[in-house]
Structure 1
Amino acid sequence: MFKFSLSIKNSSAGLLTLFLLISGFSYGQQKGTVKGIIQGNVVTTQKEAAENISVKLKGTSYGVVTDKNGEFEFKAPAGNYKLVVSHVGIKNQEIDVVVKGGETTVVPVITVQITASALKEVTINGNKTNKFVKKHTDDVQKIPLDNLENPQVYSNITSALLEEQNVTTVDNAIKNVPGIQTMWQATGRSGDGGAYYTSRGFAVQSLLRDGVLGNVSNTIDLINVESVEVLKGPSATLFGSALTSYGGLINRVTKKPYDTLGGQITYNVGSYGFNRVSADVNTPLDSAKKLLFRLNTAFNYQGSWQQNGFSRGTTVDPSLLYKVNDRLSIQFDAELFEGNNTIQPIYFFSYGATTDQLGATNAKQLNLDYYKTYNNGDLSQQSKSYNFFGVINYKISDHWKSQTNFSSAYSYSNGFGPYYYLMSKDSMARDDQSTRNSWQKQLDVQENINGDFNIGKLRNRFVGGLDFYRVNSDQSFIEGSYDVVPINSSTFNYTGFNKANLSAQYATGGYYVYPYIFSSNTYAAYASDVLNITDKLIAQAAIRFDHFDNQGSYNPTTQVKSGMYTQNAWSPKFGLIYQLVKNEVSLFANYQNGFTNENGLDYTGKTFRPEEANQIEGGVKISLFDGKLTSTLSYYDIKVQDIIRPYNATLNIQDGTQLSKGFEAEVIANPFTGFNVVAGFAYNDSKYTDISPDINGTRPTTAGSPYTANLWLSYRLPKELIKGLGIGIGGNYASANDVLNTSTGVFTLPSYVVLNTSAFYEYSKYRFSFGVNNFTNEKYWTGYSTLNPQMPRQVVGSVAFKF
């Protein structure tokens, strides 16, 4: 296994290098002498971005199609040309342009008369665009910014990639991001925040939607998601500390209403009883097309690949957009989820037990039955997540605009949560942690002022904001120890761990209650400016101030509230971009900050400070051959300081540290017509220093595997053969992961390679897809100080009708 893991690591890094070389060679053979750059923007008569519009120099092969923002950019030799703007269903436009060697020609905004439905009917050909790339984002810096202008590292998973892989959840979408690894699937319990991932050595969750609060406690369906943005590194300056981690954040960019009737109905089916029916329906509600409505909804059922278990849920996401006039628009959205599920088996280590007592140091040494749940399958819970959003966009002037955001999140759960403690490799304790009508409410209100203006010849892109965030929790966890059983006995009846027996035990008072009742408010202000110092040199400076008000925790037994405190924190951020080759190669560096509020007193009686993380990072971003080859290579170094650790048996001191450094690489390429590549590699080195003796110098259990890699290859056959037919193959690699790493011993989850494949066919308004996830039937484990078995081979298929 060691030799195999090592070869995978070497081949992962070598594979990325090979793609760069092959892509560069292939493009180098195609590229002519380029003397200047042409930039511009195409909009509809309704002032909406016109995507997939062909923009070409008449009589030449130079040209592109516009991106999701209606923008275009390409190179051509110096000279006088006719710029031809064309699309199915519109009259071609010809515009005179002059291309000057070594300069950028900006074409005035081009307006085309075309409906949104006509735009959607165009299928992007592989030889025209790198369909898995989105070079532009509005959320990463809270201002519109291209990737090559952005000093922060982030990945963007596009809807084209999600559709091609037949992906329906955020968990599966995340597998396309370098350095991200799932540790826990969502439990569905109130306040849990859905699945836990690891990034750059720290736990992270998908808590943001369109850049604001969007917490969902269950597995998040992608029915209303246009793309997924994963930001890397501490990001508290613009997004605060409550919804981010030192490893970054995950932001879901949602689908938006448009001005024609259209949509898609899809049915998915797969192994283990998987059934999913979804619909995306859009329509204008008035003849002037100022009031637009879109509804995304899905029903999911997934049986268990193990002995028993299930997950059932319904998602309803309506969106209403009112375009009051050219300056003002108002949008209201909702995310409504209700479901019922059993929690997939999670195995913990018995507190204080050593690996010698366990009799195992590796998951393969345990006698656990991979397919057993060790209960009768009726220990389920009810879950709800109700989120509401409002946004008001107002154009103050040509250079300034206002955006007001309102977001509320409500999560609820009631029911059983079985889990297990490993006593030895042959025995376990069966326990339950139920929630009793538990709920958590969150509220986020933001006001952002954006400006794009010049001071002299220096362009400034500015955002200033005020942010109010409130958490109100009324959760009650009921814990009961049921029994200790042999792990793998052919004669033992495991079905006694069930709803009736647990309910009877709780009726006699055989349980502990852990209330989690508290409230807190955070008041924040932030400002950021991206400054074009020269045509190639860009700098960013940002600062945030937080005032945190913990209003205390309530004990329902004593009816006393305690633990009230306030805390202030500053969070700076700096970035630098130098475009070594204008619009093609950017060198970047950043300093980013994050923090965590801490309650209590140290051994001297002094109030604790916020724990703080600081990142230094540098690297290169490229976008070559008209965007057909994009890549980000980065090295980062994160230091967390002021970690609280024991000073003696009863008191604490705040001087612990954690170090995390590593390398990440992402390549997205379209080397030749119809062939696309998404590849990633990451290495992370994390350790505790100056901390509790039992973990000092060790790798944190939140850090996941030191080496990870992802790959997806797809090929769409030329239309001369079978138009609309394509295939894809790829997967993920993770090296061995120490989920127990203390003085009591080290317990390791083995490395794994999980491979997936898909085939798809598009004809007229129909799309058919077939795939196999984990087609080698790899038995593998993930964990977060735990062991969590993962799904073996699964066959999936879908049929979609677009209208």
Structure 2
Amino acid sequence: MRKLLQLIVLLFITLNAYAQSGTIKGRVLDNNQLPLPGVNVAVLGTQQGAITDIDGEFTISGVATGPATLKLSFIGFKTLEIELNVDGRTTELSEITLYEGNEILQDVEVTAERTNKFSREETAYVAKLPLKDMENTQVYTTITNELLVSQTVTNFEDALKNATGVDKLWTSTGRGGDGAGYYSLRGFSVQPQLVNGMPGLTNGTINAANIERIEVLKGPSATLFGNSVGSYGGIINVVTKKPYAGQGGMVDYTTGSFGFNQLTADFNGALDKEKSVYFRLNTSYQTKGSFQDAGMRETFFIAPSLTYRANNRLSLSFYGEITKAEQTNPTMLFLNRAVPSAASNLEELGYNRNLSFTSNALTLKTPTSNFRGEASYKLSDNWTSQTVVSTSHTITDGYYSYLYDYGVYPTNVFTRLINKQNGQTNTFDIQENLIGDFKIGNLRNRFVFGIDYLTATSSDYSSGYAFYGSVSPSGQLYADNPLTPEVETGPWALTTAGVDAALANQPNGSNKATQNVISSYVSDVINFTPTLSVMASVRLDRFENEGDLEGAGAYDQTTLSPKFGVLYQPIADKLSVFANYQNSFNNVGPALVGDPNDGPQTLKSFDPEQANQLEFGFKTNLFYNRLNATVSYYGITVSDKVMADPDNPFNQIQAGEVTSSGFEIEINANPVAGLNFRGGYTNNESEVIETDNDNQLGTRPLEAGPKELYNFWATYEVQNGALTGIGFGFGINGSSERAVLNYANTGTFMLPKYTIGNASVYYQLEKFRVGLKVNNLFDEEYYSGWSTITPQEPRAYLLSLQYKF
């Protein structure tokens, strides 16, 4: 009787347990609707899971009732997460399709609509491995396509305003070599030079029409990416739109203030009956004027992409971006870094921001092209080989001018210097990655070994700079050249004929330099337990600079760059505590130095710089991905830093040590259905702690930007009732004051702090969307700069009409 009672009690407990749990069954297929055996199926946050059998089927029993997330992963295929509700019965998932991974590594594809539309995603690029954010010891920000659409973003600069800790130093100038925009990140300047994890140079600005997302990697990241595409503050990686399984597309027309008009189109579809080849085409045409008395930009952009799945093991992809652009270079007042400034703020300067000091006749043409080919071959269930080839080509052709304060006039007068740009840059990169996901004993290893070869050739045959009148910030013209004894009267007409006449006697430069970099790297993420992991990475980099045409400035350098990280999840998939050590280096390329008024500039070479970062913090992913947050503190030290010479504006010196430390917080949330918001705040302390020039010692580097930055954006879309589909958005971007001149011998010039408001309203149906966006809602007057002063756009309106098919 006693044993019978024990059996009854045990049976009751078992039945009661199963009454509080359910079963998940399903079948996994590939893109050809063939069964996929060996797929790993896991219930996130638990130790429960299964492996699909020969028919692609799986069964997971005893799953707790309530919301659950199912993760399906298989080497060579895009990882898939499915959110479902377990109700105590059997949940049938009859057909689940996994698609071949066509990015550089695996990437996430979620079939259902995401709840938290602004949250970070699993990415193959940040670690060159398919790691979720909660598993990654590096801090990064993801700017999703959903976020960009909600803001009616039409340019790359506005897109980057969503990245915590990123601030514009100056906009794209279009000039050869360094014409892309500059941004401050963790106290250091950075340009966007990485596209889909590979070098993708531009001398203009990146077209927003082809952006799937932007990934901003924080901290020195040379271990996996080298030094050619980032800075000590981090790296900006643009992930482009790619073909997907299905047929569809959209057409969008946006018009707005200051002569803005943009037409974009996106088409995706299969090219064969077997649906093994998919093609996607994104294109855009844009024209824009200026709020100033002159200024324009016209661009045509086209981006074809194709993926071909040869079989279950091999997939091939091709991506291209071609841009044809013409623009006036933006108005910037260059402050003198060698003599005392007559003004310390905008009020004393007397700047009329509505003046451009140029004309629409003086334009730069900046065509660019980027092409990439990828081959992914699944060697086994645990190993994948991926080969990536990329090329970039940029040209600069046209007139470039700038305004510089020589300090020879009595008060704030800027001399206009102008030249004819004629330069181009070509890059070629080939990369081979061997990616594994395997176990050694009970330890899971996610491993990548890569070899990378990059060659870049830059040539510059631009003319010298000619004096072309001087102006005060209020617009008064000074005809005579203060640097010559002769009296000059102008008339300095802003026409091509007038400028060509002034440039007739200017010599043309003849500078060409080639850099070759061959590297190998290895990275391993080891899980000692499901919640405790360690990352160890190292890169060996061989840099060769061939110098100019005569071989001047040539040098070789071999550098080793390590990276370590440790991560522990006190609550699996919900809370991560991490720490990292990251290293970066910079084989500083030769720089053109010398006063252009004295003749052609010359190349100057430098020793390599080194940067080291220590960082710690935590990440959260709570309430089924509805609350995603990262909080971290970092410290970076850079030695042998190359800096601008305060005593000579046309020279650079290498004798500095710089420290940068700061606190960052970013939150992405979806508290209720239809409401999504993102917020970020950073506080950065940067200082020159060692230098041969006492004028810089103890100062904040100009490239560090403002000490404090904050950003916020929220959208709400009505989910039910007669107003379904109507949405609203509001956000702010702000910064503390910043010094754009800050040396002992010059004094300090401060740009004021600002807070910019933006708002939107939209209405969308299944195929149609109309939206109205207001940028700089309160018409704030604000400026950016980096030893320069550039006025930013006042209040502007955008109206967007979109149709999906």
Give distance in 1, aligned partners of 2:589 and 2:201.
24
One-letter amino acid matched to 2:608: P
Deviations 1:288-328 (A, max 9, x none): 11121111100010111110110001011001211111111
Whether the aligned pair in 2 keeps the contact of 1:189 and 1:412 (CA below 8 Å) is no
One-letter amino acid matched to 1:663: F
Which of 319, 322, 333 in structure 2 is aligned with 1:333? 319
- The structural deviation recorded for 1:756 is 0.7
- Which range is displaced more, 153-162 or 420-429? 420-429
Query: Structure 2 matches for 1:578-589, cutoff 5 A?
Result: 578-589=568-579
Which residue is 2:272 aligned to? 286
- Which range is displaced more, 39-48 or 265-274? 39-48
| 2:366 aligned counterpart, secondary structure | strand
Whether the aligned pair in 1 keeps the contact of 2:80 and 2:110 (CA below 8 Å) is no
Deviations 1:745-788 (A, max 9, x none): 11111111111111111113111111100011111110111111
Whether the aligned pair in 1 keeps the contact of 2:144 and 2:214 (CA below 8 Å) is yes
- The structural deviation recorded for 1:434 is 2.9
RMSD: 3.3
Within the alignment, does 1:378 sit opposite 2:381 as a pair?
Answer: no
- The structural deviation recorded for 1:443 is 1.1
Give distance in 2, aligned partners of 1:472 and 1:37.
60
Which residue is 1:18 aligned to? none
Which of 62, 82, 89 in structure 1 is aligned with 2:67? 62
Give distance in 1, aligned partners of 2:690 and 2:263.
53
- The structural deviation recorded for 1:366 is 1.4
Which residue is 2:740 aligned to? 739
Whether the aligned pair in 2 keeps the contact of 1:223 and 1:297 (CA below 8 Å) is yes
Whether the aligned pair in 1 keeps the contact of 2:80 and 2:109 (CA below 8 Å) is no
Which residue is 1:411 aligned to? 394
One-letter amino acid matched to 1:82: T
One-letter amino acid matched to 1:441: N
Which residue is 2:697 aligned to? 696
Whether the aligned pair in 2 keeps the contact of 1:237 and 1:594 (CA below 8 Å) is yes
One-letter amino acid matched to 1:62: P
Whether the aligned pair in 2 keeps the contact of 1:432 and 1:480 (CA below 8 Å) is yes
Give distance in 1, aligned partners of 2:189 and 2:319.
28
Which of 115, 123, 135 in structure 2 is aligned with 1:129? 115
Instruction: Check 1:196–1:589 CA distance in 2 against 1; reply closer, same or farther (3 A cut).
Output: same
One-letter amino acid matched to 1:145: L
Number of residues of Structure 1 aligned to a counterpart in Structure 2: 719
Instruction: Check 1:728–1:489 CA distance in 2 against 1; reply closer, same or farther (3 A cut).
Output: closer
- The structural deviation recorded for 1:476 is 2.7
- The structural deviation recorded for 1:485 is 2.9
Whether the aligned pair in 1 keeps the contact of 2:24 and 2:90 (CA below 8 Å) is no
One-letter amino acid matched to 1:474: S
- The structural deviation recorded for 1:644 is 5.6
TM-score (norm 2): 0.84
Whether the aligned pair in 2 keeps the contact of 1:615 and 1:639 (CA below 8 Å) is yes
Which residue is 1:71 aligned to? 80
Which residue is 2:583 aligned to? 593
| 2:160 aligned counterpart, secondary structure | helix
Deviations 1:495-554 (A, max 9, x none): 7233221111112x0x35454411110110000000001121110000000111111112
Which residue is 1:762 aligned to? 764
One-letter amino acid matched to 1:729: F
Whether the aligned pair in 2 keeps the contact of 1:749 and 1:781 (CA below 8 Å) is yes
Within the alignment, does 1:669 sit opposite 2:669 as a pair?
Answer: yes
Whether the aligned pair in 2 keeps the contact of 1:374 and 1:495 (CA below 8 Å) is no
Query: Structure 2 matches for 1:78-477, cutoff 5 A?
Result: 81-85=89-93, 110-111=96-97, 124=113, 129-192=115-178, 194-355=180-341, 358=342, 360-422=343-405, 423=407, 426-436=412-422, 438-477=423-462
Whether the aligned pair in 1 keeps the contact of 2:23 and 2:63 (CA below 8 Å) is no
- The structural deviation recorded for 1:66 is 8.1
Instruction: Check 1:384–1:530 CA distance in 2 against 1; reply closer, same or farther (3 A cut).
Output: same
- The structural deviation recorded for 1:169 is 2.1
- The structural deviation recorded for 1:330 is 1.0
One-letter amino acid matched to 1:755: G
| 1:288 aligned counterpart, secondary structure | coil
Which residue is 1:711 aligned to? 712
One-letter amino acid matched to 2:524: D
Instruction: Check 1:199–1:515 CA distance in 2 against 1; reply closer, same or farther (3 A cut).
Output: farther
Whether the aligned pair in 1 keeps the contact of 2:295 and 2:358 (CA below 8 Å) is no
Whether the aligned pair in 1 keeps the contact of 2:566 and 2:578 (CA below 8 Å) is yes
Give distance in 2, aligned partners of 1:402 and 1:739.
48
Instruction: Check 1:44–1:269 CA distance in 2 against 1; reply closer, same or farther (3 A cut).
Output: farther
| 1:753 aligned counterpart, secondary structure | strand
Deviations 1:597-645 (A, max 9, x none): 1479xxxxxx975210000000000000001000000000000012368
One-letter amino acid matched to 1:675: L
Give distance in 2, aligned partners of 1:312 and 1:599.
32
| 2:666 aligned counterpart, secondary structure | strand
One-letter amino acid matched to 1:235: S
Give distance in 1, aligned partners of 2:204 and 2:443.
46
- Which range is displaced more, 371-380 or 449-458? 371-380
TM-score (norm 1): 0.84
Instruction: Check 1:686–1:530 CA distance in 2 against 1; reply closer, same or farther (3 A cut).
Output: same
Instruction: Check 1:38–1:569 CA distance in 2 against 1; reply closer, same or farther (3 A cut).
Output: farther
Which residue is 1:796 aligned to? 798
Instruction: Check 1:243–1:799 CA distance in 2 against 1; reply closer, same or farther (3 A cut).
Output: same
One-letter amino acid matched to 1:72: E
Instruction: Check 1:492–1:793 CA distance in 2 against 1; reply closer, same or farther (3 A cut).
Output: farther
Within the alignment, does 1:573 sit opposite 2:574 as a pair?
Answer: no
- The structural deviation recorded for 1:586 is 0.2
- Which range is displaced more, 279-288 or 182-191? 182-191
Within the alignment, does 1:530 sit opposite 2:525 as a pair?
Answer: yes
Instruction: Check 1:348–1:512 CA distance in 2 against 1; reply closer, same or farther (3 A cut).
Output: farther
One-letter amino acid matched to 2:576: S
Which residue is 1:774 aligned to? 776
Whether the aligned pair in 1 keeps the contact of 2:338 and 2:646 (CA below 8 Å) is no
Deviations 1:684-718 (A, max 9, x none): 00001110211011000000000000000111112
One-letter amino acid matched to 1:686: S
Instruction: Check 1:549–1:59 CA distance in 2 against 1; reply closer, same or farther (3 A cut).
Output: closer
- The structural deviation recorded for 1:683 is 0.5
Give distance in 1, aligned partners of 2:63 and 2:532.
33
- The structural deviation recorded for 1:158 is 0.7
One-letter amino acid matched to 1:465: G
- The structural deviation recorded for 1:364 is 3.0
Give distance in 2, aligned partners of 1:163 and 1:646.
39
Identical aligned residues as a percent: 37
Which of 532, 535, 541 in structure 2 is aligned with 1:540? 535
One-letter amino acid matched to 2:684: N
| 1:242 aligned counterpart, secondary structure | coil
Give distance in 2, aligned partners of 1:179 and 1:213.
23
Give distance in 1, aligned partners of 2:657 and 2:508.
33
- The structural deviation recorded for 1:656 is 2.7
Give distance in 1, aligned partners of 2:209 and 2:202.
14
| 1:497 aligned counterpart, secondary structure | coil
One-letter amino acid matched to 1:261: Q
- Which range is displaced more, 704-713 or 591-600? 591-600
- The structural deviation recorded for 1:488 is 2.4
Instruction: Check 1:433–1:587 CA distance in 2 against 1; reply closer, same or farther (3 A cut).
Output: farther
Query: Structure 2 matches for 1:3-22, cutoff 5 A?
Result: none
Which residue is 1:634 aligned to? 632
Structure 2 residues not aligned, in runs of 5+: 1-19, 45-59, 100-107, 480-490, 591-604
Whether the aligned pair in 2 keeps the contact of 1:725 and 1:760 (CA below 8 Å) is yes
Give distance in 2, aligned partners of 1:372 and 1:575.
51
Give distance in 2, aligned partners of 1:377 and 1:653.
37
Give distance in 1, aligned partners of 2:632 and 2:291.
39
Instruction: Check 1:39–1:267 CA distance in 2 against 1; reply closer, same or farther (3 A cut).
Output: farther
Structure 1 residues not aligned, in runs of 5+: 1-33, 86-91, 94-109, 114-118, 555-559, 601-606
One-letter amino acid matched to 1:496: A
| 2:297 aligned counterpart, secondary structure | strand
